[in-house]
Amino acid sequence: MAREHKDYEDIPGTFVFDQERSRQGYGINMFCMSLMKEDNRKAFKANEAEYLKRFKLTPEQTDAVLRRDYNRMLELGGNIYFTAKLGATDGHSFQHLAAVMTGSTQEDYAKMMLGGGRSIEGNRSKSGKSKSGKAAAAKPARAAKGGKAAKGKSKTRSKARSKRG
């Protein structure tokens, strides 16, 4: 089933773990959580494909796990903190996984993060859509105005409630 398009899906390199992905990835996340137990890790490492049959995974999810394609696992509903358990089972650190997922070495990834992270330039949206400076500056002003109206309403409701008893 096709996902409903959300504005945040335009963020490059990101698969937001929303309600829809949570439902989609239930099986993959339960598999990953099973790896918290030593007996399950041993069974998985002994025969990975057979072990995965215990969980309701799609063929695409199974393939992503067997190939250790972490980005694909996230796209198919995996939660980064759950899928990290698979990496730990393979003896990898979270930094190693992040480096693999960004296509860099651990050293380069660490330098990038210590230097303030990835540059925003070229990473604002997949579509290239970007609001002009004027539109972006005007938006907070509207939000602040809306915030005052919302506060006014809640005060009115509070006063009305207090008068009722």
pLDDT higher than threshold 50 for residue 88:
yes
pLDDT, tens only, 62-75:
999 999 999 999 98
**Could you tell me which of 111, 148, 22, 14 has the C-alpha nearest to residue 71?**
14
pLDDT score at 144: 43
Average pLDDT of the residues of the chain: 76
pLDDT score at 25: 82
Please state whether 13 falls in left (phi above 0), alpha (psi between -120 and 50) or beta: left
